[in-house]
Amino acid sequence: MDWEIIFWVALAALAFVGELLTISFFLLFFSLGAVVGLVAALLGFGITVQAVGFLAASVLSMVILRPAFLNRLALGGGEGYLGHRGVTGKSAVVTEEIEAGGKGMVRVGSGEFWTARSLHPDEKLERGTRVRVLDTDGLTALVDIVETKEDKS
């Protein structure tokens, strides 16, 4: 077996295992480049052609495929971070009771959690109460009741 073939197989395997351990979508493209170098070696091309194939495949796949992979993962990850302006007007559910005059926790949409306080300082909001985010004060959402637990029964 030729040393070049062993080198490319080892490089592809190491880069792939490194990618599995880091999940950075960085080493994966070096693994792909090493496969191109391996194919060039198997076809009998010299080390210069193998190296150029490796570099070209690694760089091109990183420039073209990596942004597409990262974008695809971000879109598949739910709603993403809405930011303080993005939560205003959204529906939420109380996940940690909001005491009268105090703070609790709400889940906005399908999974973004915010510290929250009631619009009415004397109002206690129980867990499971549906609310709407009216505004934000820093990282605290100001909420008002849309539906109480009793309304659902």
Helix (H, G, I), strand (E, B) or coil at 79: coil
Burial class (CB in 10 A: 0-12, 13-18, 19+), 1: exposed
Q: Looking at the structure, give the CATH architecture of the domain made up of residues 83-152.
A: Beta Barrel (2.40)
> How far lies 11's CA from each of 93, 101, 114, in Å?
50, 61, 45
Q: Please give the angle made by the CA atoms of 34, 37 and 42, to the nearest 5 degrees.
A: 125
Calculate mean pLDDT across residues 88-114.
88
**CB distance 114 to 123 below 8 Å:** no
- DSSP tag of 108: E
Residues forming a β-bridge with 125: 98
Residue 56 has what pLDDT? 96
Each domain of the chain, given as residue ranges in start order, spans 3-76, 83-152
- The pLDDT tens digits of the residues spanning 39-83 come to 999 999 999 999 999 999 999 998 888 887 776 665 554 444 445
Q: How far apart are CA 118 and CA 38, in angstroms?
A: 63
- The pLDDT tens digits of the residues spanning 37-47 come to 999 999 999 99
- The pLDDT tens digits of the residues spanning 18-42 come to 888 887 778 999 999 999 999 999 9
In the chain, the percentage of residues whose pLDDT exceeds 90 is: 47
pTM comes to 0.49
